[in-house]
Amino acid sequence: MAYVALYRKYRPETFEDVKGQEAVVTALRNQIRTGRIGHAYLFSGTRGTGKTSVAKVFAKAVNCEDPQDGSPCMQCGVCRRIAAGASLNVIEIDAASNNGVDNIRQIIEEVAYRPTEGKYKVYIIDEAHMLSAGAFNALLKTLEEPPSYVIFILATTEEWKIPATIMSRCQRYEFRRIETDVIADRLTELTQKSGAKADKDALSYIAKRAEGAMRDALSILDQCLAFSGERTLTLDDVLGILGTVDTAVFRRIAEGMRREDVREAVGAFREAVAGGRDISQLISDFIWYFRDILLLCAGGDAAIPLIDRTQDQISALREDARGYTAEEVSEKIRVLSDLSVQLKTAPNANVLCEVALIRMCRMHAAAPEGSVTYGDAYLARLAERIEALEERADAMYSAPQHIVPNITEEDSAPQEEELPPAPPAPEDLQRIARNWSSIVEKLPNGMHLAKVFLGEAIPKYDPLSGDMTLYAELTDSFWDAYTGSGDVEKMLSQIILRTEGVQAKVKITRKPDRKSADTGIKDIRAILSERIHMEIEEQ
């Protein structure tokens, strides 16, 4: 018999097998217990979190002849045929390859016929966001009022691409990323079932590397078990297969930085690369190393539960954290994050990484007695940021021909020089600007850094144009790459339409220009206070 991959072999068959999605499972089981079954569902969330698997379990449960506490019994003929993929009442459609109007028209014709067995015909449309606009429109009426024996389940990893008219007709369930501990426990359970052997540390690292996706974790485990064969899978095996490095390498590089030993820091990096380690993954793991250091610097022992590492590794991290301040670690993370973005287009990644490592070594340069201890590099960067803010302040306040922020009652005290008045932004845009942080938080789960930097963007409005366009002005050069990014702008516009009910364009900009008058949500004094973290004296 042909080998079956672990993620297929151990796909959940009942609701009890589903891990990490307790809220979704509880709601669906209660619907089956009480008979309050909906006609359309939208399952959204990142890859590998169980959307399609839960849809198939739900299809078995609603048709099961003897459901057990809202879960399929897996003993009746209906459950067995659905599990084997032989039932005509559960139709799974890949919207990526069947996304036209003709495909939806065929579904509409088929729903007229009652199920051959069981109570319901269940249509599972995977990657539903790939349907064309015409296909969505064709599905609309049938999705709203299907026959009583038809259930539609739409699964998608990109919810923001689903039209609001479709979403409003569905019960929506969001599948969140699965916690690392839950994935590790499941890997341990399945390893024992399959008769394989693996160290706890190896399984914990695989769970962390999966980033909340159970399917990714099982695929990685499958790959690693094939390498280890009959012997026990170790952490070193996993690191070698995945092209990553142990924290001991990061400790060696960090120690070289601490002692300003460029040869040691760069040498340790080059040895790791020569050993076949992937550079991008190495930098990503190095960011995680300093992230854990930052947690210990800022939160002490109280932050230990937030660190997904072994006890020995945590003890080593605690030793490392004693030599840093939170500000120093934050600056290192910033440099490495900047490097991670540059690596995507760098012609010579090795040189770029070595330059960054040398730069971080220089951050520990001894400061004169009585001076700030952040290092010359940190102070130089801070001076650059202050200079950039001063340029923005001059552009916004000094020249009458520039558009200036709207003045609120609090800021309307008499000034030595009257600022030229600007028409207020439309009320809808002012409301969107007030809710800007919560709007940005609704971006997809994978866009963590984008959420951080876009959350700090300043919403602005051009009173001369009069159009419903919100200019999100980035405040950090790190995200220059996002300037003019059409995909991000469309996502934000769709989120605003869905949450605020306003049809507004979003334009991401970097430098202030005549198309970026502030909405009055933040003034220059607030920006300076947030960025520089020191008292601002106006002259």
Whether residue 269 contacts residue 353, with contact meaning beta carbons closer than 8 Å, is answered with yes
CB neighbours (10 Å) of residue 496? 25
3-state SS, residue 403: coil
Residue 368 has a pLDDT of 39
Residue 398 has a pLDDT of 45
**Torsion angles phi and psi, residue 171, rounded to 5:** -80, 125
Q: In order of start, what are the domains of the chain with their CATH numbers?
A: 6-175 (3.40.50.300), 180-242 (1.10.8.60), 247-362 (1.20.272.10), 420-532 (3.30.300)
159 Cβ partners below 8 Å, 6+ apart? 42, 44, 129, 167, 174
Number of residues that make up the chain: 539
Helices (H) and strands (E) in the chain, counts: 23, 9
Residue 485 has a pLDDT of 58
Q: Which residues of 353-378 are buried (b: 16+ CB within 10 A; e: fewer)?
A: bbebbeebbebbeeeeeeeeebbebb
Task: Report which residue type is found at 119.
Answer: K
For residues 302 and 344, what is the distance between their CA atoms, to the nearest angstrom? 36
What angle in degrees, to the nearest 10, is found between the helix axes of 180-194 and 200-209? Answer: 130
255 Cβ partners below 8 Å, 6+ apart? 261, 264
Residue 411 has a pLDDT of 45
Report the predicted TM-score, pTM, of the whole model to 2 decimal places.
0.61
Q: Which two tokens stand for residue 386?
A: 């202050």
DSSP state of 296: H
Q: Which two tokens stand for residue 511?
A: 């430098």
The residues facing 171 across adjacent strands are 41
160 Cβ partners below 8 Å, 6+ apart? 444, 491, 494, 495, 498
The Cβ-side half-sphere exposure at 322, using a 13 Å CA radius, reads: 5
300 Cβ partners below 8 Å, 6+ apart? none
Q: Which residues of 187-200 are buried (b: 16+ CB within 10 A; e: fewer)?
A: beebbeeeebebee
For residues 42 and 155, what is the distance between their CA atoms, to the nearest angstrom? 6
Residue 486 has a pLDDT of 66
Whether residue 42 contacts residue 54, with contact meaning beta carbons closer than 8 Å, is answered with no
Name the nearest CA neighbour of 99 among 56, 130, 65, 76: 130
For residues 41 and 23, what is the distance between their CA atoms, to the nearest angstrom? 15
Helix (H) or strand (E) holding 535: none
For residues 150 and 62, what is the distance between their CA atoms, to the nearest angstrom? 11
For the chain, the C-alpha Rg in angstroms (whole number) is 28
Q: Which two tokens stand for residue 158?
A: 């990109």
For the chain of 539 residues, list the mean pLDDT of each consecutive stretch of 10. 80 91 92 91 92 93 89 90 87 89 90 87 93 91 89 93 92 91 91 87 87 90 86 84 78 86 89 83 88 87 80 82 84 89 84 88 54 47 70 56 40 47 68 84 75 77 71 64 65 85 80 46 49 54
Long-range pairs for 398-406 at CB < 8 Å and ≥24 separation? 402/514, 403/462, 403/463, 403/464, 403/514, 403/516, 403/517, 404/517, 404/518, 405/517, 405/518, 405/519, 405/520, 405/523, 406/517, 406/518, 406/519, 406/520
Name the nearest CA neighbour of 528 among 392, 427, 395, 339: 392
Residue 25 has a pLDDT of 93
Whether residue 148 contacts residue 178, with contact meaning beta carbons closer than 8 Å, is answered with no
